[in-house]
Amino acid sequence: MTTENRFNLIDEPWIPIVDVGLVSLRQVFSHADYRALGGNPVQKIALTKLLLAIAQSACTPDDDDDWAVLGAEGLAQKCLEYLNRWHGRFYLYGEKPFLQMPGLDASILNEKEMSSVSIGYNYYPSLPSENNTILTQSNFIRDLDLSERAIFIITQMNMSLRSSAIIKALKGREKISCASSGPSVGSGSGYVHSFLIGLNLLETLWMNMLTREKIEQATQWVGGLGTPPWEQSLQSQNCENAQKLKSSYMGCLVGMSRFMLLEESKVFLAEGVKYPTYKDGWFEPSVSADMTTKDIKPLLLSVHKKPWRELTALLSFVNATSQKGYECMQIRQGFERLKTRKNQIGIWSGGLKVTYSMKDQKCKEDDDFVESLVMLPAPNEITGSGSTWFGNLSIEMKNLEDIATKLANAVYFCSKREIRDSKERDKRADSIKKQAQNLFWQLCEKRFQDLAIHAGQAEEVALLRKIFADFVHKAYDSYCPNDSARQLDAWAKNRPNLSNYLKNPNKEAA
């Protein structure tokens, strides 16, 4: 294998940017007009973590005052200086390939195991697996170009899936029967990650930085900030540098959960640094978790309940009397130091829903990428003295859940009346009910942004309630036909009555 240095990530375009295309690391920190990262949710999470790792390595503020003085522009300048200083460590191929282990080949892998594998679906969810049935052109196996290979390396550092196949154990240690999932995925169905969103990408990175003070206060990072893997090499899972990475905040950003080495069309893979879980009190700041119970309970992904429906839980800290909800350190600490901000702020949440089966994590059936972005009023309007925004939004969200339940019950009983003489009647009715609810929430998602902005305005909320009520009836009519006399009878008797919901905006529905 050649050791020629080529494809430097600082200079070559590989990072997807919305409305722009692929750009280099240098361009990311040189252009304030880049709005946001592109790609799928897994790629967005992995790239955000990498960019934050560069930012934290370049200039971690001491405290919130230091952070405020730095600003987005100051951060960009510091990062450009840092990239220039470490330019030689960002080559995808070469003597010191980025986030890879030179020499990771058959000579140090267990002899009876395969030495390398192609990059396929089990490692890169955007691609088909080798044994897929070919239905469309997108199902054909293809080689990744250099930009895609760079993103593949980045995603595997934190977002690798649990696997019992092909992942190799290094010589000199006990053979592993199954490689653990990356810390950003977890061992179950996948975590929900959340980040603050600013007016542009640089502001987003600045808003999500942690200060040394916050890092030192966090009990899970006894090693403090830590050192990024490209500044120091890792030799094994248990080497000194690996242990330092695992105990530091840098391990949350660039986890090295897979040891890898790219070839032209293959990749050598071995289980990398193995992280503790939330059961051990360890979690990433972007992961939402309920810490009010004895055991930490992380917020898991569901394709049927998009993250925007958990918004009030994520922002429960706004209400001083609230003791429940999923707290996200990334979101909370951002709001705490942006209380006086007069510009809008957004919350992006997402991840990959996976299925745990036979020791492996895979994407099956209805598993999919999940994400949502909600722009909120300026923080000073949310957290300011006398603000009713959070209380009103909580009421409206509860009302939406209530009318969704009414819809589900109505569709269920209407379907039972319409489906006669069937042993599968209850089961079919339950399935139709869930489909109707899913349609309702899909329709609501399109207008929830308006509710998030205008939750404190009674007139706007009254108009939105009419729209959401129409969504209930649209979903009901879509799954409860009224063509025949029997259908019409069932449809009329069970059609949801939302008269109470349409009264008194910002008050509990009767």
Specify the residue for token string 């809008």.
344
Element (H, E) at 72: helix 64-85
> Cα(381)–Cα(340) distance, rounded to whole angstroms?
9
Is residue 111's pLDDT more than 90? Answer: no
Residues 406 and 279 in one domain: no
* Residue 341 forms part of a structural domain: yes
> Cα(207)–Cα(221) distance, rounded to whole angstroms?
20
Check residue 142 and give its pLDDT.
56
Give the residue-averaged pLDDT of 301-307. Answer: 87
Check residue 398 and give its pLDDT.
94
Check residue 504 and give its pLDDT.
64
- What is the b/e burial string over 136-170, where b = at least 16 CB atoms within 10 angstroms of the residue's CB? eeeeeeeebeebbbbbbbbbbbbbbbbbeeebbbb
Lowest mean per-residue pLDDT among 136-140, 280-284, 500-504: 136-140
Out of 339, 365, 383, a domain closes at 383
Lowest mean per-residue pLDDT among 78-87, 371-380, 394-403, 481-490: 481-490
Structural domain harbouring 368: 6-383
* Residue 348 forms part of a structural domain: yes
Residues 193 and 299 in one domain: yes
Check residue 419 and give its pLDDT.
62
Residues 24 and 72 in one domain: yes
Specify the residue for token string 């240098």.
26
* Residue 120 forms part of a structural domain: yes
Which residue did the predictor score with more confidence, 353 or 331?
A: 331
Give the residue-averaged pLDDT of 24-41. Answer: 96
Asked whether the beta carbons of 454 and 467 are under 8 A apart, the reply is no
Which residue did the predictor score with more confidence, 294 or 388?
A: 388
Which residue did the predictor score with more confidence, 482 or 90?
A: 90
Q: Dihedral, CA atoms, 69, 73, 79, 83, nearest 10 degrees?
A: -150
Nearest CA to 350 among 147, 47, 57?
47
Provide the CA 276 distance to its chain's centre, in angstroms: 19
* Residue 366 forms part of a structural domain: yes
Out of 357, 383, 409, a domain closes at 383
User: Between helices 458-479 and 425-454, what is the axis angle to 10°?
Assistant: 160
Out of 349, 383, 417, a domain closes at 383
Specify the residue for token string 């992380």.
298
> Cα(306)–Cα(442) distance, rounded to whole angstroms?
9
> Cα(397)–Cα(464) distance, rounded to whole angstroms?
12
Q: How confident is the model at residue 121 (pLDDT cuts 50, 70, 90)?
A: very low
Residues 461 and 321 in one domain: no
* Residue 426 forms part of a structural domain: yes
162-209 pLDDT, tens digit each: 766 544 444 444 445 567 778 888 877 888 999 999 999 999 999 999
Check residue 438 and give its pLDDT.
95
Check residue 289 and give its pLDDT.
84
Residue 410, Cβ density class (10 Å: 0-12 exposed, 13-18 middle, ≥19 buried):
buried
Percent of the chain surpassing pLDDT 70: 83
Give the residue-averaged pLDDT of 439-459. Answer: 93
Q: How confident is the model at residue 41 (pLDDT cuts 50, 70, 90)?
A: very high
Check residue 506 and give its pLDDT.
52
Lowest mean per-residue pLDDT among 7-11, 84-88, 198-202, 329-333: 329-333
Residues 317 and 436 in one domain: no
Average pLDDT, the chain: 84
Residues 118 and 265 in one domain: yes
Q: How many helices (H) and strands (E) does the chain have?
A: 15, 13
Distances (CA, A) of 424 to 281, 371, 429, 436, 500: 45, 35, 8, 18, 34
> Cα(404)–Cα(410) distance, rounded to whole angstroms?
10
Asked whether the beta carbons of 71 and 207 are under 8 A apart, the reply is no
* Residue 155 forms part of a structural domain: yes
* Residue 151 forms part of a structural domain: yes
Asked whether the beta carbons of 191 and 185 are under 8 A apart, the reply is yes
Nearest CA to 79 among 106, 46, 52?
52
Is residue 429's pLDDT more than 60? Answer: yes
Is residue 324's pLDDT more than 80? Answer: no
* CATH number, domain with residue 430: 1.10.132
Check residue 278 and give its pLDDT.
81
Q: How confident is the model at residue 327 (pLDDT cuts 50, 70, 90)?
A: confident
Residues 50 and 171 in one domain: yes
Count of CB atoms situated within 10 Å of the CB of 68: 12
Which residue did the predictor score with more confidence, 119 or 25?
A: 25
Check residue 114 and give its pLDDT.
34
Element (H, E) at 7: strand 6-8
Residues 47 and 151 in one domain: yes
Q: Helix, strand or coil for residue 486?
A: helix
Give the residue-averaged pLDDT of 271-275. Answer: 86
Lowest mean per-residue pLDDT among 225-229, 280-284, 376-380, 410-414: 280-284
Residues 288 and 243 in one domain: yes
Rg over alpha carbons for the chain, rounded to the nearest Å, is 25
> Cα(158)–Cα(185) distance, rounded to whole angstroms?
7
Residues 340 and 484 in one domain: no
Check residue 172 and give its pLDDT.
41
| Bridge partners, residue 262, by sequence | 267
Question: Both tokens of residue 472?
Answer: 């209930």
The DSSP line for 80-93 is HHHHHHTGGG-EEE
Residues 400 and 277 in one domain: no
Its pTM stands at 0.88
* Residue 188 forms part of a structural domain: yes
Q: How many domains does the chain have?
A: 2
Q: How confident is the model at residue 134 (pLDDT cuts 50, 70, 90)?
A: very low
Check residue 35 and give its pLDDT.
95
Those residues whose C-beta lies under 8 Å from the C-beta of residue 141, and which sit 6 or more positions away, are 118, 120, 127, 128, 130
Check residue 160 and give its pLDDT.
84
Check residue 417 and give its pLDDT.
67
Check residue 282 and give its pLDDT.
83
Specify the residue for token string 């990311």.
28
Residues 123 and 252 in one domain: yes
